[in-house]
Amino acid sequence: MDEPGYHARRRAAKLDAYYQQPQVGSDGRYLGVETVTPLNEPWVGGFQAQAQGQMPYAQLQGRVPIPPYSSQTGYPEPSSHPPTWIPEIKIPGGTYADYSPYPGQSPHYGPPMSAVERASMSGGSPRMDPHLQMMCGPLLRYDTVDDHGVWHGAAMVVTADAGSQYDPHPMLHLEWDPLRPVHATVAGHQRGRSISSMPSPISAVSSNTSGIPPPVPYPSTPVITSRSYPPSHAYQQTDAPGHEIWVYRGPSGSFTFWRFLIQIPLGPNEMGVRYRLNMGQELEFFVPGLNQNMRWAAHSCNGFSAGINPDDFRGPGHASGYDPLWKDLLDKHAQRPFHALVGGGDQLYCDAMMREPELQGFLGLKTPKEKISAPLTDEIALALDRFYFSHYCLEFRRGMFAKANSSIPMVNMLDDHDLIDGFGSYPDDLQSSPVFKTAERKKDLVCSQTTYDRVFWHLHQLPQQVKHVIIQLGIPIAYPRMNFLETVLESKFNPFTALAQNGSLGLSNFVNKFNKDPELLDDLNDHWTAKSHKRERNWFIEQVQAFSKARRIRVTFLSGDVHCAAVGYFKTLARGGGKAPAIDPLGDHRYMLNVVTSAIVNTPPPAAVLKTVGMLADRPHKTMHYCDTDESMIPLFRTDTDGTSLKQPYIMGKRNYTSVELDEQTGHLNFDIRIERAKGVGETVGYLVQAPPPCWV
């Protein structure tokens, strides 16, 4: 629940007032609230580069030819994927240069050109071999493992055309050895890499006028030094060519998005895969053995709400309040590598987009009706592209998060803050307006029938050996109800809402800037347990139960969003007023956990909100008794991180993430919720909850 508290909202309101006086650049255009500039080369991926030179065990042979351009800008699905269900369509209002032989390009500045043409015209002196002027990345993505035991994934980088050399096209060189041991080192070091989060002596390379201290994307780290194991006879290497997938043209130049498709044949054991972009800094990620289950980490809410001071969460030895839990996650990765990093939504917070100068006219319209009919002007479109490009680059190259996303392949889903606070939970007429243009998510609909059909079709295609399925939901599905608060906030007779809508008593920051509804209302409307989603939620749970029973697969839900940790669960209802014996979870196909892990960065809700949610946690709910289903919360947090007893054991209001691993001996899937021991220290305490294996007939 994105409720940072009264003082944070007051600080955010003051910042909003500051941005009512936009600045104009020398070209007569407005300056954005954030500006991203190129990375200093030694700090690509968040790790300081080692001395320049070739890979000891591998060298690129000759000039690499430019790969042929493919007109398909979507992710090329491996052959192991089922056929695509939904055909590609052109979104109304989108920009499509059908005459261009080059990939998608933003339309704001200049005609379409090839990457080589853009780089040659932009000026700058190439320095790498060939040199790339990095803006963001490498960012790693995990896709799948096919029927032949081949790991599929990708890496993406963003480069500034000015100063980059694209002839030959960028190339990702990878090398791995199935027989090279994967060993842990002392805590705080990742196979020769320090994972200190202290800032480097290099000055910041971004301009940030958002009122929040600038990110520190270049922590000081020594180079990779250890090569104790020479290559074995099983050593392999390959080159993955870069493909242009998008070109952004902004006021400071043009920038190219490059994707490198990666395929790694899995070996009998877990192994490290080392990679270099254009023979630059060496980085490493890890893949499991062919018959090994993945070890992975889950997180959500990787940013601060408006008005929160990040330094309040920065403990000794950390560069910013963003880093402490990422430091702890990387410590765990150094000890036993994670194979995937699952982002459960709000990987970044884009709330500052509403401070862009070109949007102030739209936001200043007096009535919702005016906003609904307002056109999407070229100026607003330019501002949106400028903000999202700069903000995404800055956030994904920030501090310890940059180290994580270049070392652990990601699997991410969107929530609202990845776009704008509350996106998908505003009234349909506003969501369908030219400036919004939502997808299928609506105030009274989480997913369309087409999406549900597609999801369940994929679930039923899973191999027979699968015993656990984790369904990632942005919002908790087994969580305390806040229906009474929905009713109060939706009431036309709520005096606080009326005063805030009129700007009285300094309460204007308690309503949103789009339709003057209370800020908290969109968070409540997001929830599966909201009144508007109740029927859809219950139907969805029934469908998952039917799948679980038919396929004999244990299902667990994983969620974020609410800025606290909790574990809800569903089970078969014990009849006879609770006097009948409960079914053992091992044999209960309705037994499903909902692990809630949030937030890895953002502040917990105020104490009063946590207390209210905690008091509601053990209330009985009869909403699904009609289908023999009961639900409740697990009292997991009986003690605090310092060992003291807690009065309310259901909700933990501290920052957290979760480590997930299968117990090969028992078949239990372990969810280790890592709770921040004390604010800003960069250490966590684990709280374990287990999803049992499916043992029903």
Q: Strand ranges (DSSP E) for 177-281?
A: 189-190, 193-194, 206-208, 236-250, 253-265, 271-277
Regarding whether 404 and 449 lie in a shared domain, the answer is no
Residue 316 lies in a domain: no
| CA distances for 334 relative to 285, 295, 323, angstroms | 11, 13, 16
Six token digits for residue 21:
């006086």
Specify the amino acid at residue 408: I
Over residues 285-298, mean pLDDT? 96
Half-sphere exposure at residue 579, Cβ-oriented, CA atoms within 13 angstroms = 2
pLDDT tier for residue 1 given thresholds of 50, 70 and 90: low
Q: What pLDDT score does 174 carry?
A: 97
Residue 609 lies in a domain: yes
Regarding whether 468 and 398 lie in a shared domain, the answer is no
Please give the radius of gyration of the chain, using alpha carbons only, rounded to the nearest integer: 25
Of 411, 433, 455, which residue constitutes the final position of a domain?
Answer: 411
**123-133 pLDDT, tens per residue?**
554 455 799 99
Regarding whether 454 and 363 lie in a shared domain, the answer is no
Regarding whether 466 and 358 lie in a shared domain, the answer is no
Please give the torsion angle defined by the CA atoms of residues 23, 27, 32 and 38, in that order, rounded to the nearest 10 degrees: -130
**Type and span of the H or E element at 524:** helix 519-526
Over residues 210-233, mean pLDDT? 47
Regarding whether 571 and 658 lie in a shared domain, the answer is yes
Regarding whether 538 and 389 lie in a shared domain, the answer is no
Q: What pLDDT score does 29 carry?
A: 75
Residue 570 lies in a domain: yes
Q: What pLDDT score does 118 carry?
A: 66
Report helix angle 534-551 to 449-460, nearest 10.
20
Residues 62, 68, 72, 73: is their CA dihedral positive or negative? positive
Of 368, 394, 411, which residue constitutes the final position of a domain?
Answer: 411
Q: How far apart are CA 461 and CA 469, in angstroms?
A: 12
Residue 507 lies in a domain: no
Residue 318 lies in a domain: no
Residue 682 lies in a domain: yes
State the total domains in the chain: 2
**615-642 pLDDT, tens per residue?**
888 888 888 999 999 999 999 999 999 9
Longest dimension (CA), the chain: 79
Boundaries of domain holding 466: 444-482+527-691
Q: Percent of the chain scored above 70 by pLDDT?
A: 71
Residue 38 lies in a domain: yes
Regarding whether 235 and 119 lie in a shared domain, the answer is yes
Q: How far apart are CA 348 and CA 248, in angstroms?
A: 20
Predicted confidence (pLDDT) at residue 672 exceeds the cutoff of 80? yes
Q: What pLDDT score does 71 carry?
A: 37
**402-458 pLDDT, tens per residue?**
999 999 999 999 888 888 888 877 888 888 899 988 778 777 888 899 999 999 999
Q: What pLDDT score does 44 carry?
A: 62
| CA distances for 476 relative to 471, 520, 528, angstroms | 11, 16, 7
**Type and span of the H or E element at 538:** helix 534-551
Regarding whether 357 and 475 lie in a shared domain, the answer is no
Which of 128-132, 501-505, 576-580: highest mean pLDDT?
Answer: 128-132
Half-sphere exposure at residue 290, Cβ-oriented, CA atoms within 13 angstroms = 11
Q: What pLDDT score does 13 carry?
A: 64
> For residue 94, what are the contacts with CB-CB under 8 A and spacing of at least 6?
none
Q: How far apart are CA 258 and CA 576, in angstroms?
A: 62
Q: How far apart are CA 681 and CA 328, in angstroms?
A: 9
**141-189 pLDDT, tens per residue?**
999 999 999 999 999 999 999 989 999 999 999 999 999 888 644 333 3
Residue 424 lies in a domain: no
Regarding whether 634 and 562 lie in a shared domain, the answer is yes
18-22, 340-344, 364-368, 391-395: least confident range:
18-22
Regarding whether 100 and 17 lie in a shared domain, the answer is yes
Regarding whether 478 and 358 lie in a shared domain, the answer is no
Over residues 302-307, mean pLDDT? 87
Regarding whether 450 and 397 lie in a shared domain, the answer is no
